[in-house]
């Protein structure tokens, strides 16, 4: 029951803070627009006055596309058929699980995005923890208050994930997978091994992610200064409630998978220009918003669960109400 309660509670908190969702969606869009415009310029220049542009406008000219991608810069090379429809989702999940590299320019954008998320996550968690409007000033104050702390935590997380993707992933998928499958002669058996390793790696990622998630939650909700302390607190929290923490994570993951599955059904093919092009884009943006909702639901549900377990009056004494009050202190204040 705590899983369902926390999930529903988290969903309510996300819905009650639509500005956060809109802001996240806007941020996710704005970050890619400049590069998109650069790519558009390169495409337009390459197509020029050619009739081939008709083919690329009405569908796909695969031969020209290969020529463009191979002659181009990093941005051009990232324009592969995987941008079409649901292939985008498959390609990106596959890239994450397979540890595939990206073009340097894409890596730069990605790192920027992660840093921005790390910074704003303080405000987001604060808003969900308070579960009441905090207005812009309150949101950004929380971002400012927690920003440097969460960035420090992000560095630690980066090191942890660097170890996972740089060492553990290589060990699992280069060494272990190779050792297990080297003499296999049946492809589906090798695929089963790979799926099993995906599950193992995914579980490790989830375990690490859970600890960092609750470290972030505790850093914000309990106004912790020490990120090492928050990390240990997050670890303790997960260790003492592994079933619910994992179950809640799984429930969130199922929501995310459902979003992807629905997009898989709706995602259009390459299509043409004109109205259909914009409808395709709007469909894609709706999917992005749904994915962001699912991501925010992770935050909100975990906050809700944490608050239901520890951040209540019986657990912490009321701190001195110095503005900005911590969500925990505020909750106690309301009781008093």
User: Which positions from 197 through 236 interact with other proteins, judged by CB under 8 A?
Assistant: 198, 205, 209
Report the residue number, 184 or 203, with the smaller CB distance to other proteins: 184
Of 220 and 331, nearer to other proteins (C-beta) is 220
Question: Looking at 10, 14, 20, 86, which residue binds other proteins (CB under 8 A)?
Answer: 86
Residues 171 and 180: beta-carbon distance below 8 Å: no
272 is a contact residue toward other proteins (CB under 8 A): yes
- Tell me how far apart the alpha carbons of residues 110 and 32 are, in angstroms, rounded to a whole number: 10
Segment interacting with other proteins (CB under 8 A) among 9-17, 97-105, 306-314, 320-328: 97-105
Query: Is residue 148 part of the contact set for other proteins (CB under 8 A)?
Result: no
Nearer to other proteins, 105 or 316 (CB): 105
Count of residues touching other proteins (by CB under 8 A): 98
Instruction: Give CA separation, 238 vs 22, 46, 226, 235, 244, in Å.
Output: 30, 53, 18, 5, 9
x/- mask, other proteins, residues 304-333, rule CB under 8 A, reads ------------------------------
Buried (b) or exposed (e) across 113-149, using 16+ Cβ within 10 A? eeeebbbbbbbbbbbbbbbeebeeebbebbbebbbeb
Q: Does 179 bind other proteins (CB under 8 A)?
A: no
Q: Does 78 bind other proteins (CB under 8 A)?
A: yes
Whole-angstrom distance, CA of residue 292 vs CA of residue 259: 10
Nearest alpha carbon to residue 237 among 220, 213, 254 = 213
Min CB(120)–other proteins separation in Å: 10
Concatenating the DSSP letter of every residue in 46-84 gives HHTT-THHHHHHHS--HHHHHHHHHHS-HHHHT--GGGS
* Minimum gap (Å) between residue 239 Cβ and other proteins: 21
101 interacts with other proteins by CB under 8 A: no
User: Please, which of residues 33-72 interact with other proteins by CB under 8 A?
Assistant: 33, 35-37, 39-41, 43-54, 56-57, 59-60, 62-64, 66-67, 70
- Which residues inside 278-297 make contact with other proteins, applying CB under 8 A? 278, 280-281, 284-285, 287-288, 291-292, 295
**Residue 168 contacts other proteins per CB under 8 A:** no
Interaction between residue 176 and other proteins (CB under 8 A): no
Check binding of 243 to other proteins (CB under 8 A): no
> Nearest distance from residue 314's CB to other proteins, in Å?
32
Q: What is the Cα–Cα distance from 69 to 103, expressed in whole angstroms? A: 12
DSSP string covering 261-310: HHHHHH---S--STHHHHHHHHHHHHHHHHHHHHHHHHHHHHHHHHHHHT
Under the criterion CB under 8 A, does residue 244 sit at the interface with other proteins?
no
- 270 lines the binding site for other proteins (CB under 8 A): yes
112 in Cβ contact with 286 (< 8 Å): no
173/235 with CB nearer other proteins: 173
What is the Cα–Cα distance from 296 to 24, expressed in whole angstroms? 9
| DSSP 8-state symbol, 169 | H
């Amino acid at each position: 029951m705590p899983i369902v309660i926390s999930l529903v509670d988290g969903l309510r908190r996300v819905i009650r803070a639509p500005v956060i969702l809109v802001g996240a969606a806007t941020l996710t869009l704005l970050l890619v627009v400049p590069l998109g415009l650069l790519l558009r310029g390169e495409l337009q220049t390459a197509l020029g006055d050619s009739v081939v542009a008709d083919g690329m406008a009405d569908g796909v000219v695969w031969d020209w596309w290969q020529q463009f991608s191979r002659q181009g810069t990093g941005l051009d090379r990232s324009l592969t058929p995987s941008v079409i429809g649901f292939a985008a989702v498959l390609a990106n999940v596959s890239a994450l699980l397979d540890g595939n590299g990206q073009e340097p320019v894409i890596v730069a954008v990605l790192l920027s995005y992660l840093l921005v998320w790390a910074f704003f996550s303080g405000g987001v968690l604060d808003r969900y923890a308070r579960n009441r409007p905090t207005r812009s000033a309150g949101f950004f104050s929380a971002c400012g208050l927690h920003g440097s702390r969460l960035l420090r935590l992000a560095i630690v997380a980066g090191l942890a994930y660097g170890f996972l993707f740089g060492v553990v992933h290589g060990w699992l998928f280069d060494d272990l997978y190779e050792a297990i499958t080297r003499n296999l002669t049946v492809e589906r058996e090798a695929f089963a091994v790979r799926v099993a390793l995906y599950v193992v790696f995914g579980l490790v990622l989830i375990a690490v992610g859970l600890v960092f998630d609750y470290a972030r939650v505790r850093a914000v909700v309990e106004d912790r200064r020490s990120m090492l302390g928050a990390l240990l607190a997050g670890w303790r929290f997960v260790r003492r409630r592994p079933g619910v923490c994992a179950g809640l994570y799984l429930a969130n993951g199922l929501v995310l998978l459902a979003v992807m599955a629905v997009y898989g059904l709706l995602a259009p093919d390459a299509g043409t220009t004109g109205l259909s092009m914009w409808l395709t884009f709007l469909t894609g943006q709706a999917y992005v918003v749904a994915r962001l909702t699912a991501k925010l639901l992770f935050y909100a549900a975990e906050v809700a669960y944490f608050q239901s377990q520890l951040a209540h009056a019986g657990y912490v004494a009321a701190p001195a109400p110095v503005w900005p009050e911590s969500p925990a202190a505020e909750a106690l204040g309301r009781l008093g």
